[in-house]
Chain A
Amino acid sequence: MPDSPATTQVATPVTAMEHEAHNPALLHHFVDAQQQKNAASLGMWLFLVTEIMFFGGMFCAYLVYRLKYFNAFAAGSQQLSIALGATNTAVLIISSVTVVLAVKAAEAGKRKVLVGYLAVTVLLGLTFLGIKGFEYREKFERHHVPGPTFQFTDTFDDNGRQIPVDSNEAQLFFSLYFAMTGMHALHMIIGCGLFSVLAVLAWRGHYSPGYFTPVENAGLYWHLVDIIWIYLFPLLYLISRHS
């Protein structure tokens, strides 16, 4: 890892009070802005690693049950709308692009462009959540929400051959569907909140080409949430479309 002590560039020892005047965003315990930025981005990457492990537990449960109950999982999957899922995938990919553009705008110091892209990102995030909510509502109506009211009478259409599936096993699919997409949606909501705050701060001129680490790190977070969906979409929506 490229981490020779960041402070080696500083030839003379720096006292605690000396550097506070330079940059209002520079916290007292860092030697310089570069060190602060490096620390923040390493911290963010580590946080993303914990997020991957967090979702990893659910992916692992999914893997186990998908192998064990393939028919039920395929039947459950066939009840999801590929069109809506694909639309959401597109929405998220576009939002990742707008996030990149927002970071570029911050780097270039274009305040209004930055705020604009952040707002678009939030809008795209809300669009995703709206579509997701629509899908959830449909699941409620069709009693596909796990719990006492759960009903599943559909069969797995394996190239025209109808294979009946156990309702408990289908419930497992929907449990994991709701757990995984729900946890993902929670992350989306947090992301939207984050970008809204950033947009307000950006509007007030908090960020400059010299300091836009929060925008960059929020962007990293958003990309991760996006990538998790890129995995969720095929696993949950597309698994039965084999052979």
Chain B
Amino acid sequence: MSKFLPLWPDQASTMSGQVDALYIYLLLVAGVMTALIFVAVTVLAIKYRRVRGREAQQIEGSTILEITWSVIPFFVMLTFFIWGAVLYFKERTPPADSTEIYVVAKQWMWKFEHMEGQREINELHVPTGQNIKLIMTSQDVIHSFFVPAFRLKQDVLPGRYTTLWFKATVPGRYHLFCAEYCGTNHSGMGGEIVVMEPRDYAQWMAGGPAVPLQETGKQLFATLGCATCHRSDVQGRGPNLVGIYNKPVLLEDGRTVTADENYVRESILNPTAKIVNGFKPVMPTFQGIVSEEQLNALVAYVKSLAQPTPGSAGLQNEPAASPAQTQKTQVQ
């Protein structure tokens, strides 16, 4: 990207090329249409300019023409829609083998926490060639996570998780912007995505000691007393949480919901909202007791319980191995 007059953004994710391809198609169609209208207006305006002795010819209109220029644009637009929708579906569907990174936005900074426990502020290191899924929430107002080089953007909302996934392709440093107006320092709420070769990334990852996220979650699970009811050996007063992640849960009122991140989050903050069939609504709320970061750790822990060997310490030290295992359990 030219530093003087950038006319096209860097391409740094698998999505960039796909978005650009569609954009170029749209530009071509729009260019042809604009040229058509401009030329038609200019030619007609000159050819039929007022001349002495020539009167305008009154033409009522033509239903055939009207139908033609309604139907043809409609089908052209249909191609826009289908291509765009397919692309959007890809943009919005994280592959099952994604490495997860938790993101907390606040006025006016981005906080990241890797599964391995590394924390970063306004800078996110990711490896190339790895699917990364961001699980994002906001501590205050609405923000938006925007990386132009990846062609991706997702609003980050308070009170729930939204997700975004990407697979970086080219090492380098790329702009991260907040794209949803969030107050005084909105334009300063940016940072950089540092894309690294997997080898460099592993080196960076090994840089400092850190407690893996689900380990932090496990400790919290114990200190907050969750484990007294949510037992992993027998059914306690609360449901056994082993293996529930991403599984359907039958609720008291007969509905079935999928136990995704937002479900786990809601169940911690607002336990009476969805009561699991066969259990009593006895759990107190943890709203205001746990911070967003602690909540992320708890969610990460509950998700780790979906592993075949819950709480296994071995997988946290090998970042490359954990997503693969996650994938196995999720596709079951």
Do these two chains interact? yes
A residues bordering B, Cβ < 8 Å? 68-71, 163-166, 168-169
Inter-chain contact B273/A164, CB cutoff 8 Å? no
When chains A and B are docked, how far (Å) is the Cα of A68 from the Cα of B287?
17
Can you show 12 pairs from A to B with CB atoms below 8 A apart?
A70-B253, A71-B272, A71-B273, A163-B272, A163-B275, A163-B281, A165-B272, A166-B272, A166-B273, A166-B285, A169-B270, A169-B273
Instruction: Report B273 CB to chain A, min CB distance, Å.
Output: 7
Inter-chain contact B281/A69, CB cutoff 8 Å? no
Within the complex, which residue of A164, A168, A169 is in contact with B281, where a contact is CB–CB below 8 Å? A164
When chains A and B are docked, how far (Å) is the Cα of A112 from the Cα of B236?
76
Q: Which residues of B contact A165 (CB under 8 A)?
A: 272
Q: Which residues of A contact B273 (CB under 8 A)?
A: 68-69, 71, 166, 169
Within 8 A of A (CB), among B239-288: 253, 270, 272-273, 275, 281, 285, 287
B residues bordering A, Cβ < 8 Å? 253, 270, 272-273, 275, 281, 285, 287
Instruction: Report B283 CB to chain A, min CB distance, Å.
Output: 10
Main secondary structure of the interface of B (DSSP, over half): loop
Q: Which residues of B contact A163 (CB under 8 A)?
A: 272, 275, 281
Instruction: Report B286 CB to chain A, min CB distance, Å.
Output: 12
When chains A and B are docked, how far (Å) is the Cα of A201 from the Cα of B70?
57
When chains A and B are docked, how far (Å) is the Cα of A169 from the Cα of B273?
10
Given A71-B273, A164-B272, 6 more pairs with CB closer than 8 A: A163-B272, A163-B275, A163-B281, A165-B272, A166-B273, A166-B285
Q: Which residues of A contact B272 (CB under 8 A)?
A: 71, 163-166
Instruction: Report A112 CB to chain B, min CB distance, Å.
Output: 58
Q: Please name the residue on chain B nearest to A165 by beta carbon.
A: B272
Instruction: Report A87 CB to chain B, min CB distance, Å.
Output: 32
Instruction: Report B165 CB to chain A, min CB distance, Å.
Output: 27
3 nearest interchain CB pairs?
Answer: A163-B281, A164-B281, A166-B270
Q: Which residues of A contact B253 (CB under 8 A)?
A: 70
When chains A and B are docked, how far (Å) is the Cα of A166 from the Cα of B271?
9
When chains A and B are docked, how far (Å) is the Cα of A241 from the Cα of B122?
52
When chains A and B are docked, how far (Å) is the Cα of A128 from the Cα of B253?
37
Instruction: Report B280 CB to chain A, min CB distance, Å.
Output: 9
Q: Which residues of B contact A169 (CB under 8 A)?
A: 270, 273
When chains A and B are docked, how far (Å) is the Cα of A165 from the Cα of B275?
11
When chains A and B are docked, how far (Å) is the Cα of A186 from the Cα of B118?
57
Q: Please name the residue on chain A nearest to B284 by beta carbon.
A: A164
Q: Which residues of A contact B275 (CB under 8 A)?
A: 163
Q: Which residues of B contact A71 (CB under 8 A)?
A: 272-273
When chains A and B are docked, how far (Å) is the Cα of A68 from the Cα of B285?
17
When chains A and B are docked, how far (Å) is the Cα of A163 from the Cα of B281?
6
Instruction: Report A69 CB to chain B, min CB distance, Å.
Output: 7
Residue among A70, A165, A166, A169 with most chain B CB within 10 A:
A166
Q: Please name the residue on chain A nearest to B271 by beta carbon.
A: A166
When chains A and B are docked, how far (Å) is the Cα of A69 from the Cα of B266?
12
Q: Please name the residue on chain A nearest to B285 by beta carbon.
A: A166
When chains A and B are docked, how far (Å) is the Cα of A69 from the Cα of B253?
13
Q: Please name the residue on chain B nearest to A71 by beta carbon.
A: B272
Q: Which residues of A contact B287 (CB under 8 A)?
A: 168
When chains A and B are docked, how far (Å) is the Cα of A167 from the Cα of B272?
11
Instruction: Report A42 CB to chain B, min CB distance, Å.
Output: 31
When chains A and B are docked, how far (Å) is the Cα of A164 from the Cα of B252?
14
Instruction: Report B123 CB to chain A, min CB distance, Å.
Output: 36
Instruction: Report A111 CB to chain B, min CB distance, Å.
Output: 58
When chains A and B are docked, how far (Å) is the Cα of A130 from the Cα of B162?
48
When chains A and B are docked, how far (Å) is the Cα of A69 from the Cα of B285?
15
When chains A and B are docked, how far (Å) is the Cα of A165 from the Cα of B271?
9
Q: Which residues of A contact B281 (CB under 8 A)?
A: 163-164
When chains A and B are docked, how far (Å) is the Cα of A168 from the Cα of B273?
12
Instruction: Report A46 CB to chain B, min CB distance, Å.
Output: 31
When chains A and B are docked, how far (Å) is the Cα of A135 from the Cα of B7?
65
When chains A and B are docked, how far (Å) is the Cα of A166 from the Cα of B273?
8
When chains A and B are docked, how far (Å) is the Cα of A196 from the Cα of B270?
50
